[in-house]
Amino acid sequence: METLSETGAFGGVQGVYRHASDACGCDMTFAVYLPPAARAGPVPVLWYLSGLTCTHENAMTKAGAQGWAAEAGIALIFPDTSPRGEGVANDEAYDLGQGAGFYVNATEAPWAPHFRMWDYVVTELPELVFDRFPLDRARQGITGHSMGGHGALTIAMTHPQTYRSVSAISPIAHPAASDWGRKQFTAYLGPDESTWAPHDATLLMRDRGYPGPVLIDQGAADQFLHLLTPQALIEAAADRGQPCEFRMLAGYDHSYFYVSSVMEHHVRWHSAQLALVAVA
């Protein structure tokens, strides 16, 4: 692992790192924020998955999360959203290819050799960071924005014993029924829609839910609301009696102005949920 930068932030350290990924078959860059509490021993972890067109840098620099994480004593991990580099398949559209990995393991050409973001986020990157940094493996939460909210929800519902808290900000909530999903799933996973279901938060909510509360924030003025379809997920949660805090906030769109406005609530919420794990 190569250290690209490390700088002080709110008494802790914001670092950016690069490593050769076996899962993605290319170099991958990610960021880790360690709060001051990490100097005394392992701290809880909050994974943040970013949305379309983003890298590790967007949330690291725009979400305003480090100050709240320092106060809560929780580490932040910001992975990239897709494999990148020469020889990695891409597309002219912003919502497919590099910057748009959708947190799945692609099975279709030309994406399959590199686009294995599920394995990267769930298996490979955790093994690397838990070996390198003072992090508490038993207390992991996951959140994300837009495409990253989709990833956070599907990963947490599939691995609830690993991710002990989950939230999402403006998630792509029902991708199998949205143009932000059907296009990408067809390209990455093929036309058989049965292979899409494990990557659709609404379908997973109907099928299994999550063994704990879920937090979802959505801007009421989001220009992509018709593609995100949060109502489908909320209806599925209500039908199964899933504990869920859903906030639709007036005046907010899909941008990082919204993300940064709700980030304090998400960091504090995850910190409280993970504290319950610590004493369980």
Which tens digit of pLDDT belongs to each residue from 181-224?
999 999 999 999 999 999 999 999 999 999 999 999 999 999 99
Q: Per-residue pLDDT tens for 236-258? A: 999 999 999 999 999 999 999 99
Q: Is the pLDDT of residue 35 over 90?
A: yes
- pLDDT given at position 279: 52
Question: With 0-12 CB in 10 A as exposed, 13-18 as middle and 19+ as buried, what is 176?
Answer: middle
Mean pLDDT of 153-176: 98
Q: Where are the domains of the chain?
A: 2-275
Residues 12-29, buried b or exposed e (16+ Cβ, 10 A)?
A: bbbbbbebebebbbbebb
Q: Give me the chain's average pLDDT, please.
A: 97
Q: Which two tokens stand for residue 171?
A: 């998630």
pTM: 0.97
Write out pLDDT tens, residues 38-89: 999 999 999 999 999 999 999 999 999 999 999 999 999 999 999 999 999 9
Please identify every residue annotated as catalytic.
146, 222, 254
Amino acid occupying residue 101: G
pLDDT of residue 280: 45
The neighbour count for residue 256, using CB atoms within 10 Å, is 19
Phi, psi dihedral angles at 257 (to 5 degrees): -60, -40
Whether 135 has a pLDDT exceeding 50, the answer reads: yes
Pairing mode, strands 214-219 and 163-169: parallel
Among 163, 159, 193, 164, which residue's Cα sits nearest to residue 177?
Answer: 193
Q: For domain 2-275, is the CATH number 3.30.300.30?
A: no
Whether pLDDT at 277 is above 90: no
Give the pairing of strands 244-249 and 163-169.
unpaired
Which percentage of the chain shows pLDDT scores above 90? Answer: 98
Confidence band for 278, pLDDT divided at 50, 70 and 90: low
Do residues 254 and 222 lie in contact, with contact meaning Cβ atoms separated by under 8 Å? Answer: yes
